[in-house]
Structure 1
Amino acid sequence: MISRTALPLRHLTGTAKPGPPHEAPKPPASPSGPSWPVWLIPIATILALGLLIGLTSSGAKSTSYPYSVFLTKVEARQVKAVTIDSGGAITGTLANGSAFTSQIPTALGAGSLEQELRADGVQITGTQASSGGGTAAVWLVFLLPFALMVGLFLWLGRAARRAGGTGLSTVGRSRAKIIEAERPETGFADVAGYEGVKREVSEIVDFLRRPERYAAAGAQGPRGVIMVGPPGTGKTLIARAVAGEADVPFLSVTGSGFVEMFVGVGASRVRDLFNEARKRAPSIIFIDEIDAVGGRRGSGGRLGGNDEREQTLNQLLAEMDGFDQSSGIVVLAATNRPDALDPALLRAGRFDREVVVPLPNQAERAAIIAVHAKGKRIAPDVDLGVVARGTPGFSGADLATLINEAAINAVRDNRAIIERDDLDAARDRVLLGRRETSNALLPEERRSVAVHESGHALVAALCEHADPVAKVTILPSGMALGATEQLPEAERHLYSEAYLGDLLAVRLGGRAAELVVFGEGSSGAANDLAGATQIAVRMVREFGLSPELGPVGYGSQSMEFLGAQDDGPLSRPYSEATQRAVDEEVARLLRRAEQRALELLREHRAALDILADLLLARETLDGSVVREVLAEEPQPRDVSSPLIA
Structure 2
Amino acid sequence: MITAVRLPRRHASRSAKPGPPREPPKPPAAPRAPGWRPWLLPVILVALFVLLLSRAHNPAGTSLTYSAFLGKVDAGQVKTVDIDDKGGVDGQLKDGRKFTTQLPTALGPTGLAQQLRAKNVDITASGSSTGGSWVGPLAVVLLPLVLLGALFLWTGRQAARTLTGGLSGIGRSRAKIIEAERPTTRFDDVAGYEGVKQEIGEVVDFLRHPERYAVVGATGPRGVLMVGPPGTGKTLLARAVAGEAAVPFLSVTGSAFVEMFVGVGASRVRDLFDEARKRAPSIIFIDEIDAVGSRRGGIRLGGNDEREQTLNQLLAEMDGFDQSSGIVVLAATNRPEALDPALLRPGRFDRHVTVPLPNQTERAAILAVHARGKKLAPDVDRSVVARATPGFSGADLANLVNEAAIHAVRAGNTVISARDLDDARDRVLLGRRESSNALLPEERHAVAVHESGHALVAALCEQADPVAKVTILPSGPALGATEQLPEAERHLYTEGYLTDLLTVRLGGRAAELVVFGEGSTGAADDLAGATQIAGRMVRDFGLSPSLGPIGYAAPGALHRLGEEPAGETLHRPYSERTQRLIDEETARLVRQAEQRATALLRDHRPALEHLADLLTTRETIDGTVVQDVLRRWPGTTPEAPVPGPERPPP
Alignment of 1:536-547 (within 5 A): 536-547=534-545
**What CA RMSD, in Å, does the superposition of the two structures yield over aligned residues?**
3.3
2:421 counterpart of 1:423: yes
Deviation at 1:218, TM superposition (A): 2.6
Deviation at 1:265, TM superposition (A): 2.2
Alignment of 1:231-380 (within 5 A): 231-298=230-297, 302-303=301-302, 307-380=305-378
Aligned twin of 1:579:
579
**Taking structure 1 as reference, are residues 292 and 418 closer, same or farther at Cα in structure 2, changes over 3 Å only?**
same
The answer (yes or no) to whether the contact 1:15–1:395 under 8 Å persists in 2 is no
**153, 160, 173: which one pairs with 1:151?**
153
TM-score (norm. length: structure 1): 0.77
State the AA in 1 paired with 2:502: L
Deviation at 1:627, TM superposition (A): 0.6
Alignment of 1:166-565 (within 5 A): 166-181=165-180, 183-298=182-297, 302-303=301-302, 307-561=305-559, 565=565
Aligned twin of 1:597:
597
Deviation at 1:505, TM superposition (A): 0.3
Residues of 1 paired with 2:580 and 2:600: CA distance? 31
State the AA in 2 paired with 1:541: R
Residues of 2 paired with 1:328 and 1:208: CA distance? 6
State the AA in 2 paired with 1:577: R
Aligned twin of 2:41:
37
Residues of 1 paired with 2:302 and 2:434: CA distance? 52
**Taking structure 1 as reference, are residues 12 and 196 closer, same or farther at Cα in structure 2, changes over 3 Å only?**
closer
TM-score (norm. length: structure 2): 0.76
Aligned twin of 1:72:
none
Secondary structure of residue in 1 paired with 2:3: coil
**Taking structure 1 as reference, are residues 13 and 449 closer, same or farther at Cα in structure 2, changes over 3 Å only?**
farther
Count of equivalent residues: 536
**Taking structure 1 as reference, are residues 567 and 157 closer, same or farther at Cα in structure 2, changes over 3 Å only?**
closer
Per-residue CA deviation, residues 10-46 of structure 1 (Å, 9 max, x unaligned), is 7999999xx9xxxx998535789x9552235668999
Residues of 1 paired with 2:458 and 2:248: CA distance? 54
State the AA in 2 paired with 1:340: A
Alignment of 1:85-124 (within 5 A): none
**Taking structure 1 as reference, are residues 10 and 217 closer, same or farther at Cα in structure 2, changes over 3 Å only?**
closer
Aligned twin of 1:630:
630
Deviation at 1:517, TM superposition (A): 0.6
The answer (yes or no) to whether the contact 1:14–1:395 under 8 Å persists in 2 is no
The answer (yes or no) to whether the contact 2:177–2:248 under 8 Å persists in 1 is yes
The answer (yes or no) to whether the contact 1:13–1:234 under 8 Å persists in 2 is no
**Taking structure 1 as reference, are residues 159 and 460 closer, same or farther at Cα in structure 2, changes over 3 Å only?**
closer
Secondary structure of residue in 2 paired with 1:458: helix
The answer (yes or no) to whether the contact 2:9–2:491 under 8 Å persists in 1 is no
Deviation at 1:520, TM superposition (A): 0.5
**Taking structure 1 as reference, are residues 465 and 635 closer, same or farther at Cα in structure 2, changes over 3 Å only?**
closer
Residues of 1 paired with 2:216 and 2:631: CA distance? 69
State the AA in 1 paired with 2:633: E
Deviation at 1:241, TM superposition (A): 2.2
Residues of 2 paired with 1:12 and 1:196: CA distance? 11
The answer (yes or no) to whether the contact 1:251–1:284 under 8 Å persists in 2 is yes
**Taking structure 1 as reference, are residues 37 and 535 closer, same or farther at Cα in structure 2, changes over 3 Å only?**
same
Per-residue CA deviation, residues 84-108 of structure 1 (Å, 9 max, x unaligned), is xxxxxxxxxxxxxxxxxxxxxxxxx
The answer (yes or no) to whether the contact 2:9–2:359 under 8 Å persists in 1 is no
Choose 419-428 or 570-579, whichever is displaced more. 570-579
Aligned twin of 1:132:
none
Per-residue CA deviation, residues 605-636 of structure 1 (Å, 9 max, x unaligned), is 11111111111111110111111111112766
2:613 counterpart of 1:613: yes
Residues of 2 paired with 1:628 and 1:365: CA distance? 31
Secondary structure of residue in 2 paired with 1:330: strand
Deviation at 1:542, TM superposition (A): 1.3
Secondary structure of residue in 2 paired with 1:560: coil
The answer (yes or no) to whether the contact 2:503–2:596 under 8 Å persists in 1 is yes
User: Percent sequence identity over matched residues?
Assistant: 70
Name which structure has the greater RCO, CA cutoff 8 Å, separation 6+: 1
Deviation at 1:150, TM superposition (A): 5.0
Secondary structure of residue in 2 paired with 1:151: helix
Choose 492-501 or 547-556, whichever is displaced more. 547-556
Unpaired runs of at least 5, structure 1: 50-139, 638-645
**Taking structure 1 as reference, are residues 223 and 46 closer, same or farther at Cα in structure 2, changes over 3 Å only?**
farther
Unpaired runs of at least 5, structure 2: 19-25, 54-141, 638-650
Choose 469-478 or 210-219, whichever is displaced more. 210-219
Secondary structure of residue in 1 paired with 2:41: coil
Choose 517-526 or 182-191, whichever is displaced more. 182-191
Per-residue CA deviation, residues 477-512 of structure 1 (Å, 9 max, x unaligned), is 111111000000000000111111100000000000
Secondary structure of residue in 2 paired with 1:272: helix
The answer (yes or no) to whether the contact 1:291–1:335 under 8 Å persists in 2 is yes
Per-residue CA deviation, residues 173-213 of structure 1 (Å, 9 max, x unaligned), is 22211221551443222110111222222321221121112
Deviation at 1:243, TM superposition (A): 3.3
Deviation at 1:414, TM superposition (A): 0.8
**Taking structure 1 as reference, are residues 451 and 304 closer, same or farther at Cα in structure 2, changes over 3 Å only?**
closer
Secondary structure of residue in 2 paired with 1:175: coil
